[in-house]
Structures are given as structure tokens and as C-alpha cells.
Amino acid sequence: MDFVLPRGCCECGGEIHGDAGNGLCWDCRSDSLPLGPPWCETCGMVIAGRVDHAFVCNQCQEHRPAFTQARSLYRYEGGVRTAIHALKYHRDFSVVPDLARLLAAGAKVHLDNPETYALAAVPLHTRKLRERGFNQSQELTRYMRKWLPGQEIWTGLRRVKYTETQTHLTAAGRRSNVRGAFQVKSKSIPDKILLIDDVMTTGSTVDACARAMKKAGAKEVRVMTLARG
Ligand SMILES: [Zn+2]
Ligand SMILES: [Zn+2]
């Protein structure tokens, strides 16, 4: 439909010019706060104030995650939040290229050798997949290859346990909620995996994914999400 209808920004409805991509205009993009240090070396949780040395947050010290590192690109608010909502809840696939491009750029910034990692999306349970009709993280991951050509996409991870929404749960509650929720259903698994998701909250879901993949033989799992809520 792109070549029939001029696209507007999903946040403000304004016109999108030139190479800004579909989804968000530059104004709304710059409205979303990019995340950066000081943050936890492991989970990427941002803390306020000035810290001029590397640190690992209390939560990661108490419950060491199975992933080596997690990074989120934006705070879950403003235009980025609207774009994710448009995709997840209104099936607006026109935002996919724009969001996937941000993720691909993030992979190049946060990984030393991005090409050595296979990309994997956090899977949905088949029941959820039927309800929604698609997996937003899988769509984003597939599209990332436009900017990371030749990158392997590995799809051997399954969500075997249906879990209700986690929003009302504490960090400990979330951990037990997703325990055993993921399994590897594939004979082979890449050594290094970059796990992709749209939003990360406490990190319990991506940690459970990483745990399953490490158990199945992955040596290193890193995580990248568009936003942190
Ligand atoms: Zn806009
Ligand atoms: Zn941490």
C-alpha cells in the first residue's frame, strides 16, 4: 500500500520525508529517549546520576541472568511506544522496517562482531500466536536482515507454557511465572545468539529464553530489545 497512499507518522500523523522510513517522523523519533550509560553491564538497566565505572546492578548480582548482556534502545514511551502498539495491537506492519532498522543499528553499536551472532526472536505460545496472528518480534527480526545481510535467523526456540500477562507480577513472581516456559526444539543450536524482543521489563522472559538456549548448547546469548518499560 506504500506506493498508493502517502504514509503518515504513526504518532503525530505528520508527513514522513525522504529516508526517514515508515512509521515515525524524525520529530517523534527524537521525542523518544534513547537509553545509554550509566547502565548495568549485564541487564542494561539505566540508573540516574553519574557513575564513571562499570557496575552490575543488585538484581543481576542476586539472580545472575543466563544472558551475557541485554541492551534496550529506547525508553518505552512516546513515538517508540506508539509504533510498537501500532504493530502489536493494530497490525500496522508499515512500522516494521523503521523499527527493524533501529534494532539492526543497535546490533552494530552494541555487539563487537554482530555478524557472528544468529538472530532469534522471543517466541509466542501457539495459542497467543493464533490470537494475534503474528509474532511481532519475529517480524522485526526477519526484517533486520535488510541491514544485516546474510545473518542467520535461528527459529528453534518454542514457548511451551502459556502464561498470563505479567504486568501485575513482582520480579520474583515473573521469574517463577516463566520458569520452564521455553524449550529448544531443534537438533542444532548456534554458539552465539542475539535474542530480539520488542519490550523488556524485568528481563525474566528473555532470561528464561537464554536459560533454555544455554541448556541446549548455546555458548553465549545476548539480548536486544527496542524498548525498556
Ligand atoms: Zn510524528
Ligand atoms: Zn542488571
Is 152 a domain residue?
yes
Q: How confident is the model at residue 3 (pLDDT cuts 50, 70, 90)?
A: very low
Radius of gyration of the chain from its Cα atoms, rounded to whole angstroms: 17
Residue 13 Cα to ligand 1 middle (Å): 6
User: How far apart, in Å, are the Cα atoms of 106 and each of 41, 111, 127, 157?
Assistant: 16, 8, 31, 23
Cα–ligand 1 centroid distance for 23 (angstroms)? 8
> For residue 69, how far is its CA from the centre of ligand 2 (angstroms)?
9
Least Cα distance to 122 among 166, 81, 61, 90 occurs for 166
Q: What are phi and psi of 82, to 5 degrees?
A: -60, -40
Neighbours of ion ligand 2 (CB under 5 A): 40, 42-43, 45, 57, 60
Average pLDDT of the residues in 190-200:
98
Q: How far is the CA of 57 from the centre of ligand 2 (A)?
A: 4
Among the bound ligands, the one closest to the CA of 28: 1
In which domain, by residue range, is 126 found?
A: 18-228
More confidently predicted of 224 and 163: 224
Number of domains in the chain: 1
* Cβ 201 vs Cβ 75: under 8 Å: no
Q: With bands split at pLDDT 50, 70 and 90, how would you rate the model's confidence at 18? A: low
Provide the pLDDT for residue 6: 53
**Domain containing 31 — which CATH number?**
3.40.50
Beta strands 157-159 and 182-184: pairing type? antiparallel
How many A from CA of 161 to the centre of ligand 1?
38
Task: Assess if residue 10 is contained within a domain.
Answer: no
Q: What is the Å distance from ligand 1's center to 12 Cα?
A: 4
The contacts found for 168-173 with CB under 8 angstroms, 24 or more apart, are 171/59, 171/202, 171/204
- pLDDT, one tens digit per residue, over 37-69 is 999 999 999 988 888 899 999 999 999 999 999
Strand extents, DSSP E, the chain = 69-75, 118-121, 157-159, 182-184, 192-200, 220-228
% of the chain at pLDDT higher than 90:
67
What's phi and psi for 222, nearest 5 deg?
-115, 155
Q: Which residues surround ligand 1, an ion (CB under 5 A)?
A: 9, 11-12, 14, 25, 28
CA of residue 56 to ligand 1 center, whole Å: 36
Compare 129 and 10 and report the one with higher pLDDT.
129
Per-residue model confidence as pLDDT tens digits over 66-107: 999 999 999 999 889 999 998 999 898 888 988 999 999 999
Could you read off the pLDDT of 107-130 as tens digits, one per residue?
999 999 999 999 999 999 999 999
Name the H helices within 18-95: 26-31, 58-62, 78-90
Q: How far is the CA of 71 from the centre of ligand 2 (A)?
A: 10
Query: Is the residue at 3 inside a domain?
Result: no
Cell numbers linked to 229: 518499560
Could you tell me the distance, in angstroms and rounded to a whole number, from the CA of residue 16 to the centre of ligand 1?
A: 8
Dump pLDDT digits (tens) for 204-217: 999 999 999 999 99
Q: For the residues 9-38, what does the mean pLDDT come to?
A: 76
Query: Which pLDDT value is given to residue 168?
Result: 83
Give pLDDT, residue 20.
46
Is 208 within 8 Å of 63 (Cβ atoms)?
no
Answer yes or no: is pLDDT of 25 > 90: no
Ligand that lies nearest to the alpha carbon of residue 45, given by its number in the listed order: 2
For residue 44, how far is its CA from the centre of ligand 2 (angstroms)?
6
pLDDT at 75: 93
